[in-house]
Structure 1
């Protein structure tokens, strides 16, 4: 047999160095950028949008069902804008509790989604990783309650390899602790909650509003904005009353309150 050196034949220190180099290369690579189309938002993002070959994490601001719905629709709106006609989004989860009409209202109709269900988080993460590496999907969305740093590094590597964006929705495990407190290899980490809608001059309910916090991003600073919820094309909007107001740093609104 030819004397070929494989990774498993190398000393452990060399294996670790090679793995770190592979991860660093994948983490340094960038894909096509998906802009939100809002200067106040894109202008504060290091990539002027979302990296199309990266991992992005989303969590609800609290365990309340209203915040959970807002975070789900935030992810669905991004996926809808990524899914060009003829392409599909893979949505992996352990419990099928999605409200299809709600997803369709933000532009993600049933003809654009492929669902995959696992019995536990590890299976969902494996399904997401396989979907990313395939490279044929517009986007992969996965809902989990637990994903350690090793799991997020694997997702980032798979997203980079498949040139496919990954949206990881971190569901609340407890009422007291935000899922985004754990370390992660994600490019961006978002926390989404409901905000009061604008009063109307007539009886009715105005367009929903969300509190959108970018908790962490690589190469940039955190910030928060109050935005109008996704429309039927998955696009967000600045409320008319705050269209000319500068974004506030994360936590500024709470300190003011």
Structure 2
């Protein structure tokens, strides 16, 4: 029954496969235990500041790092820091950068990259994403099996409010930076994020406190939270279709 529903939601096309996070706490909330390949996914920062915007980009980089093949990353602002992406598992020699003049061109390159079919993932940084544009991206991803990740970045509050509007993305995520994990000695521990799965087709919404992507693109459950009882685990609720 679930497979039939997923096929209908995908416009009659069967899923191209799934990419697990490798973290049971997260994967159990996703249909088939991972992110759908050949689909569009959305990631945004929890606020409109630079820190949360960076966290959302690194979250996307960790996902892209675990795909196979080259990754096309489309931007309209020249502020992407390649060494930071490498720390999240996405090596510089795997990334093809497209610097566009405006978001309209970013969306065009995003769609063309998805339709190419020879890439592991395509990432596009945009402030606004309409239902029409997101549907085009979703259909392009479905046609080739390439994963698309829309990183929502905005400069003003009005653009941040646009994230509440519906899109055709299969999953929507929001990532907020938290104080880093404590160390037994002086120093800076592994960064932590508050990760919210705010929409998931045929799946569940939930939120998690996690340690940021490592050099393999993998998230981790903080040691001081790993032994929590089920009653104190992150809340969950059924996703809206």
Once the 2 structures are TM-superposed, how far is the Cα of residue 28 of structure 1 from its aligned partner?
Answer: 5.1
Q: CA 1:239–1:117 in structure 2 vs 1: closer, same or farther (change >3 Å)?
A: same
1:209 to 192, 203, 212: 192
Q: What value does the CA root-mean-square deviation take over the aligned residues?
A: 1.8
Once the 2 structures are TM-superposed, how far is the Cα of residue 25 of structure 1 from its aligned partner?
Answer: 5.0
Q: Is contact 2:204-2:236 (8 Å) kept?
A: no
Aligned pair 1:248/2:234, yes or no?
Answer: yes
Q: Deviations over 1:110-130 (max 9, x none)?
A: 110001122111111111111
Aligned pair 1:57/2:42, yes or no?
Answer: yes
Alpha-carbon separation, structure 2, partners of 1:250 and 1:59: 19
Residues 147-186 of structure 1: pairs in structure 2 closer than 5 A: 147-175=129-157, 177-186=160-169
Alpha-carbon separation, structure 1, partners of 2:161 and 2:175: 11
Once the 2 structures are TM-superposed, how far is the Cα of residue 27 of structure 1 from its aligned partner?
Answer: 6.8
Once the 2 structures are TM-superposed, how far is the Cα of residue 180 of structure 1 from its aligned partner?
Answer: 2.5
Aligned pair 1:109/2:91, yes or no?
Answer: yes
Residues 12-161 of structure 1: pairs in structure 2 closer than 5 A: 25-26=10-11, 29-82=14-67, 84=68, 87-161=69-143
Say which SS state the counterpart of residue 139 (structure 2) adopts.
Answer: helix
Q: Deviations over 1:104-155 (max 9, x none)?
A: 1112121100011221111111111111111000000000111100000000
Match of 1:227 in 2: 210
* Count of residue pairs the alignment pairs up: 226
Once the 2 structures are TM-superposed, how far is the Cα of residue 198 of structure 1 from its aligned partner?
Answer: 2.4
Q: Deviations over 1:48-90 (max 9, x none)?
A: 11001100000000012111111110000111111x3xx2100
Alpha-carbon separation, structure 2, partners of 1:194 and 1:134: 34
TM-score, normalization by structure 2? 0.88
Alpha-carbon separation, structure 1, partners of 2:87 and 2:10: 38
Q: Is contact 1:26-1:156 (8 Å) kept?
A: no
Alpha-carbon separation, structure 1, partners of 2:151 and 2:169: 12
Say which SS state the counterpart of residue 97 (structure 1) adopts.
Answer: coil
Match of 2:5 in 1: none
TM-score, normalization by structure 1? 0.83
Structure 2: where are the runs of 5+ without partners? 1-7
Say which SS state the counterpart of residue 163 (structure 2) adopts.
Answer: helix
Q: CA 1:46–1:113 in structure 2 vs 1: closer, same or farther (change >3 Å)?
A: same
Q: CA 1:93–1:25 in structure 2 vs 1: closer, same or farther (change >3 Å)?
A: same
